Amino acid sequence: MEHRIITFFYLIDEYLKTINLKDDVRSKVSNSEVLLIGYIAASDFNGNYFKGYQYCKELKIVKMLEYSRFIRRLNNLEEIIEKLFLWLGKLFEKLEGVKIYSVDSFPVELCNITREKRSNLWVDKELKGYNASKKIFFYGLKVHMIVTTNQEPIFFYISKGSTHDVTAAYDFLPYMPKNSIVIGDKGYVSNKLDNFLTNLGIKLSPIFRKNMKKDKEYFLKRKIRKGVETAFSVITSKFGKVIKAISLKGFFTKLKLFIFSYSFDCFLKLDYKQQNLLFN
């Protein structure tokens, strides 16, 4: 635990220096400390900010501030959390020599679908989506994510629940490195998308539906795709069925914090030389 906290704090502190984000001179608690409390809450306490806050307070890990102030400051760092994720993603991409990736999406409920018209966070008919793996409808968002063969995330994109995977793919797959191969499930079967990405030097290789031509690489693709499925399983196990938040900004902050926490845990698994590449 001590090594993880020190590594996290050093990583955040160094990144904030590189983007020249300075702390408020009126506050005795740095942005790095605020993010550390948030990370511990997401990683160790299923997103319960108060428990993470109390844990850090009891162990005197960081200088403390009032709880309500901590929440406001953490929510104001939503954009930084996403940038930190992308920063680590660039390292994972650099380490992925074969350039083979998996892409998929998972649903994140804003509330139970029976309460969709009474949601306190966001009311929008386009948030109603269908979870094909569980064959049920849900009300919320979709997180589309690309991971390496080592289950390391390099990019994520958040859309409304009704957005089809192919539609969302146009907004993030073009950012993949040239000559990369992206493996998706049958939801990514689209000749138009395939041609679009081919022109960008990116090969989309989805697993075909049963009524389509035989896929000779089916079992290999399934094996590789387990990486993204494992990543989703780890991330969603942290927050359970619904992410608890009292504001939409707080919801997005907590969701991105869960995703970044998984990314940081992947970073911890790298050896020292690989980790050091992040600063070179």
Average of pLDDT values for 200-216?
75
pLDDT band, residue 8 (cuts 50/70/90): very high
Q: Would you state the pLDDT for residue 13?
A: 87
In contact, 165 and 131? CB cutoff 8 Å: no
pLDDT band, residue 132 (cuts 50/70/90): confident
Measured at the CA of 268, the angle between CA 1 and CA 91, to 5 degrees, comes to 150
Q: Where are the domains of the chain?
A: 2-76, 96-239
Q: Would you state the pLDDT for residue 198?
A: 95
Q: Would you state the pLDDT for residue 70?
A: 94
Q: Would you state the pLDDT for residue 25?
A: 62
In contact, 9 and 36? CB cutoff 8 Å: yes
Average of pLDDT values for 80-101?
92
Name the average pLDDT for the chain: 90
Average of pLDDT values for 220-230?
84
Q: Measured between alpha carbons, how far is 220 from 217 in angstroms, rounded to an integer?
A: 5
In contact, 252 and 47? CB cutoff 8 Å: no
Q: Would you state the pLDDT for residue 116?
A: 84
pLDDT band, residue 213 (cuts 50/70/90): low
In contact, 103 and 188? CB cutoff 8 Å: yes
pLDDT band, residue 212 (cuts 50/70/90): low
pLDDT band, residue 119 (cuts 50/70/90): confident
The pairing of strands 181-183 and 203-204 is: parallel
Q: Measured between alpha carbons, how far is 30 from 47 in angstroms, rounded to an integer?
A: 21
- The proportion of the chain whose per-residue pLDDT surpasses 90, expressed as a percent, equals 61
Q: Measured between alpha carbons, how far is 237 from 114 in angstroms, rounded to an integer?
A: 22
Give me the architecture of the 96-239 domain, per CATH: 2-Layer Sandwich (3.30)
Q: Would you state the pLDDT for residue 209?
A: 63
Torsions phi, psi of 153, nearest 5?
-80, 140
The per-residue pLDDT for range 160-190, each reduced to its tens digit, is 999 999 999 999 999 998 899 999 988 898 9
Average of pLDDT values for 189-199?
94
pLDDT band, residue 210 (cuts 50/70/90): low
CA atoms lying within 13 Å on the CB side of residue 235: 30
Say if residue 211's pLDDT is above 70.
Answer: no
Say if residue 98's pLDDT is above 90.
Answer: no
In contact, 132 and 70? CB cutoff 8 Å: no
Reduced to 3 states (helix: H, G, I; strand: E, B; else coil), residue 252 is helix
pLDDT band, residue 138 (cuts 50/70/90): very high
The per-residue pLDDT for range 25-45, each reduced to its tens digit, is 667 888 999 999 999 999 999
Average of pLDDT values for 75-87?
95
Average of pLDDT values for 49-72?
90
